[in-house]
Amino acid sequence: MRLKTFLLNLIKGKRILEHGVQIHTEEVVQQGDSLESQLNEFEKTRNELEIAKKQLIQLEKMASLGELTAGIAHEIQNPLNFVNNFSEVNAELIDEMQQEIDKGNFEEAKAIACAIKENQQKINQHGKRADSIVKNMLLHSRDNSSEMQPTDINALADEYLRLSYHGLRAKDKTFNSAMMTNLDSNLPKVNVIPQDFGRVLLNLFNNAFYAVHQKQKTADANYKPEVSVTTSLENGQIIIMVKDNGSGIPENIKDKIMQPFFTTKPTGEGTGLGLSLSYDMVVKGHGGNIDIKTKEGEYTQFIITIPI
Amino acid sequence: MKILVVDDEADVQPLFIQRFRKEIRSGEFDFAFSLSGEDALEYLEKNHSEVVLILSDINMPGMTGIELLSRIRHTYEKPPPVVMMITAYGDEENRRQAMQNGANEFLTKPLDFTLLKEKLKTFVE
Ligand SMILES: Nc1ncnc2c1ncn2[C@@H]1O[C@H](COP(=O)(O)OP(=O)(O)O)[C@@H](O)[C@H]1O
Ligand SMILES: [Mg+2]
């Protein structure tokens, strides 16, 4: 409608200017109509693209969730084994302690009590670990609640690194890599949207493990794949660095990797949305920044900075 | 008997010490622990004459248990230490590789400690 009014006004103005020059108004109006229907077409396409984009974001979420599940199974099994084992040991120890008390060996009974207490702490620790994994998985699959909350970045980084590793490992048994964490224990809790931030980290870890795996396929036997995550606090900013000694990023595509749908991976292995979504979440969602350092064939390092 | 346990999970250490507290107290078993295949090789370099049995996880970041096993088999010929492999996945491929590389036993996680104890004791004899 706007276009039509504009054109009519234009015609009016033209008439006034050209005094008496006859213009075939009808013709112009017709042209205006066809332009307007084109505009409507564009609008429709744009809406469709918008919907497609939302669906793709959902797809990327589901894809990374799928990768997560295998990792999650392994990561929950481990703490559960510890919970079961330490509680079985404690049941035995309690029997032993009672026997010692009956015999009047209080010193020995006390020593056993100490062991029970230590085991109890282990049980609690591993129980909490399983708990936080399940909670994070639920956060990850939910797409509505997006509230900022004080978050332990170190715990998130440690957990997603393991999840990513075990997820890939479960899919491909030839995959293997060392993983390193250098987490600054003085890091304060930071206000972030935990599920968004978890996804950013998961994307970076998945990319890093993929890159070392790629390199391993061609490198000689001395190559030691390695992915590390480092956190620190500098000038009132939290810095998270994810580094891999994988294939690196060639200079000529470095500018493109943040673009949506840019991927060098075969269909089924990459959507090309990981980094662009990560960029949106870090920069637009958290007022932070993502930097990349890389050398082809040697390493890649993603550096995320977020203000506290 | 000195047993070297290789697992990237640190809490495996207190767990073994608790599970085998009686055997440790009686001096029947003595445990050493490594958190990675690389650590284990380093430990063996210095102490291989003492270590009689190695119990290693397969799925570890960095050097896998299978690699560790093959390195041990190539480096320490006599007396060949007993090597038992443990894995969480319990799949055929890992079992086959472990056996091919000369593992003496193959165990699956979660570890059945009663069974493990029996197996360890048969190797002592
Ligand atoms: N750590 C990395 N090492 C090497 N290349 C990388 C790394 N991270 C990202 N890339 C490159 O950036 C591209 C885009 O990454 P991303 O947006 O996560 O999409 P996808 O992983 O689905 O391809 C990848 O296809 C790859 O070429
Ligand atoms: Mg990716």
The mean pLDDT of chain A is 85
The tally of domains found in chain B comes to: 1
CATH of residue B99: 3.40.50.2300
Give me the pLDDT at residue B30, please.
95
Residue A1: both structure tokens together: 């409608």
Cα–Cα distance, A270 to A266 (Å, whole number): 6
Sign of CA dihedral A192, A193, A194, A196: negative
Mutate which of A57, A61, A216, A257 to test ligand 1's pocket (most atoms within 8 Å of Cβ)?
A: A257
Domain that holds residue B90: 2-124
Q: Hey, which of A142-151, A207-216, B86-95 has the most confident mean pLDDT?
A: A207-216
Give me the pLDDT at residue A158, please.
92
CA distance B57 to chain A (A): 13
- From chain A, pick out residues whose CB is under 8 angstroms from the CB of B61: 165, 176-179
Q: Per-residue pLDDT averaged across A29-35, rounded? A: 78
Contact indicator for B54, B6 with CB cutoff of 8 Å = yes
Give me the pLDDT at residue A47, please.
83
Confidence of residue A17 (pLDDT cuts 50, 70, 90): low
Give me the pLDDT at residue A21, please.
47
Strand order in the sheet with B30-34: B30-34, B2-6, B51-57, B82-87, B105-108
In this predicted model, what pLDDT tens digit does every residue of B20-33 receive, in sequence order? 999 999 999 999 99
B91/A82 Cβ within 8 A: no
pTM of the model: 0.69
SS3 B47: helix
B109/A81 Cβ within 8 A: yes
Which residues, at least 6 apart from A184, have a Cβ–Cβ distance to it below 8 Å?
A154, A231, A232, A233
Confidence of residue B43 (pLDDT cuts 50, 70, 90): very high
Which ligand 1 atom is at minimum distance from the Cα of A276? 17
Q: Per-residue pLDDT averaged across A244-258, rounded? A: 94
Which residues, at least 6 apart from A135, have a Cβ–Cβ distance to it below 8 Å?
none
- Cβ-nearest to B9 among A78, A118, A169: A78
Cα–Cα distance, A233 to A230 (Å, whole number): 10
Nearest CA to ligand 1 atom 12: A257
Q: What is the ipTM of this complex?
A: 0.88
| Residue A199 confidence (pLDDT) above 90 | no
In this predicted model, what pLDDT tens digit does every residue of B46-86 receive, in sequence order? 998 888 899 999 888 889 899 999 999 998 776 788 999 99
Confidence of residue A44 (pLDDT cuts 50, 70, 90): confident
Residue A111: both structure tokens together: 């020593």
| Residue A220 confidence (pLDDT) above 50 | yes
Sign of CA dihedral B70, B60, A202, A232: negative
Q: Per-residue pLDDT averaged across A263-272, rounded? A: 84
Cα–Cα distance, A13 to A4 (Å, whole number): 14
- From chain B, pick out residues whose CB is under 8 angstroms from the CB of A178: 61-62
CA distance A119 to chain B (A): 8
Minimal-distance CA residue of chain B relative to A162:
B61
What are the phi and psi torsion angles at A253 (to 5°)?
-115, 0
Mutate to test the interface with A, among B18, B71, B96 (most CBs of A within 10 A): B18
CA distance A73 to chain B (A): 11
Q: Per-residue pLDDT averaged across A16-37, rounded? A: 67
Nearest CA to ligand 1 atom 18: A274
> Which ligand is located closest to the Cα atom of residue A262?
1
The mean pLDDT of chain B is 89
| Residue A7 confidence (pLDDT) above 60 | no
Comparing A237 with A52, the larger pLDDT belongs to: A237
Cα–Cα distance, A159 to A259 (Å, whole number): 27
